């Protein structure tokens, strides 16, 4: 039995809450009395655990960047109780064997739900559909499929994928990037790229695929999810699709809610990301789209790389940023502190809605008796300074190093287990708390 005392719900009610056998078994108005062994929730918010629909954990194949265990620790530190892991591993997660391996590694780590995403095409090569049915029937029960890192650019392959996943209520998560328009592209196409001489990545390369796939999804009556939207035009296309009743959802990353392409002027590969950082106009459109609900969710696109892949010339640097441990704080800074959203909205965009889209029945549930105990405690008033060397991720490629951010996750409860206690994470393999 775990008792949490004095935690505040987003609606302002202060409660005591009991957890037993993986579920919430009792909720009552707080007495404020902290009994021996109880978890001190005073001055903290209690909300459902965060759910990330877009994480790269690199294992198998690039364990120098991240492993399922180190990525799970990073996820817990950021307040996540479930992550969906992208398929661009080595070997690619395009068959039942690989997704089951990742699923078992997640179970072994025991810190968060690790849900593998299956590739749409064999080897991410865009030419032949993967074994989606076998992955859906595997113990991993895969329902999300994506070639993220690459676009499913062939419209016929994309149509066939959308048709196929209808048989088991799956969803295709598209990395919207027209490859012919982004050959050798390094950053957003605009005044900054022209001034500093880097090949540009036009907004239309993203928007053309979004528009095409919205029409394909409408044509075959299937589910489409747009990964990491970055442009104002993309937001408007998704708005149009929703007004027509097309079954499309979309995500935005924390870094695209805060960072802009002018940061690339110093040629630091830490700001090199796919899709690229865009303009301030795009950033404001993304914020407004998220606040309005046109963009459904926040997803981290946590993309770890070893230092040698970022400590180099810009054109040689790898695309991507780590994001699991800073995501909540960046969203608080860009959306709550600006008055665009409140904490209930944040719970919807970072827990409830991603769990619903992904089909995770034990995640993102309301805080009520009988519900699964996937919960976090957050001190909304505490600030912290990002120190890349203290990140739990194996990689340190954060663009936020040295930045002061609001809100600190102090405790995480995963399936009723207290997996982070006062910022100390349980090491599942060693069975002890520690850094």
Three state DSSP letters for the chain? CEEEEEEECCCCCEEEEEEECCEEEEEEECCCCCCCCCEECCCCEEEECEEEEEECCCCCCCCCCCCHHHHHHHHHHCCEEEEEECCCCCCCCCCHHHHHHHHHHHHHHCCCEEEECECCEHHHCCCCECCHHHHHHCCCCCCEECCCCCCCCCHHHHHHHHHHHHHHCCEEEECCCCHHHCCCCCEECCHHHHHHCCCEECHHHHHHHHHHHHHHHHHHCCCEEECCCCCHHHHHHHHHHHHCCCCEEEEECHHHHHCCHHHHHHCCHHHCCCCCCCCHHHHHHHHHHHHHCCCCEECCCECCCCHHHCCCCHHHCCCCECCCCCHHHHHHHHHHCCCCCCHHHHHHHHHHHHHHHHCCCCCCCCCCCCCECCEEEEEEEEEEECCHHHCCCCCCCCCCCCCEEEEEEEEEEECCEEEEECCEEEECCCCEEEC
- Give the model's pLDDT for residue 32: 86
Given the residues 282, 301, 309, 348, the one annotated as active site:
301
Same domain as 280, residue 188: yes
Same domain as 38, residue 56: no
Which one of 358, 393, 424 terminates a domain?
358
Interior CA angle at 263 toward 185 and 321, to 5°?
Answer: 70
Same domain as 302, residue 206: yes
- Give the model's pLDDT for residue 426: 80
In a domain, 395, yes or no: no
Please tell me the distance from the alpha carbon of residue 289 to that of residue 293, in angstroms, as a whole number.
Answer: 6
In a domain, 392, yes or no: no
In a domain, 246, yes or no: yes
Order of strands, sheet of 50-55, starting from the edge strand that comes earlier in the sequence: 50-55, 80-85, 113-116
Same domain as 339, residue 273: yes
Residue ranges of the chain with per-residue pLDDT less than 70: 427-435
Q: Would you state the structure tokens that stand for residue 317, as one six-digit string? A: 């640097």
Same domain as 146, residue 250: yes
- Residue 33 maps to which CATH number? 2.30.40.10
In a domain, 130, yes or no: yes
Same domain as 247, residue 186: yes
- Give the model's pLDDT for residue 430: 41
Same domain as 309, residue 160: yes
In a domain, 396, yes or no: no
Same domain as 349, residue 414: no
Same domain as 342, residue 291: yes
- Residue 99 maps to which CATH number? 3.20.20.140
Same domain as 163, residue 91: yes
Parent domain of 247:
49-358
Q: Would you state the structure tokens that stand for residue 415, as one six-digit string? A: 């399936």
In a domain, 257, yes or no: yes
Please tell me the distance from the alpha carbon of residue 105 to that of residue 350, in angstroms, as a whole number.
Answer: 24
In a domain, 391, yes or no: no
Same domain as 58, residue 31: no
- Residue 45 in contact with residue 9, Cβ under 8 Å? yes
Which one of 358, 392, 421 terminates a domain?
358
Same domain as 196, residue 69: yes
Known catalytic residue at 296: no
Number of domains present in the structure of the chain? 2
In a domain, 272, yes or no: yes
Q: Cα 343 to the chain's mean position, in Å?
A: 18
């Amino acid at each position: 039995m775990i008792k949490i005392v004095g935690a505040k719900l987003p609606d302002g009610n202060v409660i005591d809450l009991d957890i037993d056998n993986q579920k919430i078994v009792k909720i009552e108005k707080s007495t404020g009395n902290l009994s021996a062994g109880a978890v001190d929730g005073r001055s903290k918010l209690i909300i459902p655990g965060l759910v990330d629909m877009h994480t790269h954990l690199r294992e198998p194949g690039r364990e120098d960047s991240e492993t399922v265990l180190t990525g799970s620790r990073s996820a817990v530190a950021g307040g996540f109780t479930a992550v969906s892991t992208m398929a661009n591993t080595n070997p690619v997660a395009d068959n039942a064997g690989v997704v089951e391996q990742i699923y078992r590694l997640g179970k072994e780590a025991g810190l968060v739900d690790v849900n593998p995403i299956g590739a749409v095409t064999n080897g991410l090569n865009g030419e032949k559909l993967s074994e989606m049915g076998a992955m859906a029937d595997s113990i991993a029960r895969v329902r999300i499929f994506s070639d993220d890192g690459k676009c499913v650019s062939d419209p016929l392959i994309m149509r066939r994928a959308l048709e196929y996943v209808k048989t088991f209520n799956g969803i295709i998560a598209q990395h919207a990037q027209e490859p012919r328009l982004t050959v050798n592209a390094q950053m957003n196409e605009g005044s900054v790229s022209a001034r500093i001489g880097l090949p540009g990545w036009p907004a239309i390369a993203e928007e053309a695929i979004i528009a095409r796939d919205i029409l394909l999804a409408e044509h075959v009556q299937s589910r489409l999810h747009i990964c990491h939207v970055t442009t104002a035009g993309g937001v408007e296309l998704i708005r149009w699709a929703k007004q027509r009743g097309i079954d499309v959802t979309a995500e935005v990353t924390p870094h695209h809610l805060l960072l802009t392409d002018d940061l690339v002027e110093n040629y630091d590969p830490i700001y090199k990301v796919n899709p690229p950082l865009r303009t301030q106009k795009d950033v404001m459109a993304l914020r407004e789209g998220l606040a309005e609900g046109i963009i459904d969710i926040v997803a981290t696109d946590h993309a770890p790389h070893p230092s040698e892949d970022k400590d180099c010339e810009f054109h040689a640097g790898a695309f991507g940023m780590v994001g699991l441990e800073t995501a909540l704080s960046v969203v608080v800074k860009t959306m709550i502190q600006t008055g665009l959203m409140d904490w209930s909205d944040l719970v919807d965009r970072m827990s409830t809605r991603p769990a619903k889209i992904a089909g995770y029945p034990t995640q993102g549930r309301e805080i009520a008796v009988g519900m699964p105990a996937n919960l976090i405690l957050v001190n909304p008033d505490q600030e912290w300074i990002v120190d890349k060397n203290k990140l739990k991720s194996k990689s340190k490629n954060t663009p936020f190093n040295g930045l002061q951010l609001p809100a600190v996750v102090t405790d995480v409860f995963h399936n009723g287990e207290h997996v982070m206690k006062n910022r100390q994470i349980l090491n599942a393999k060693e069975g002890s708390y520690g850094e």
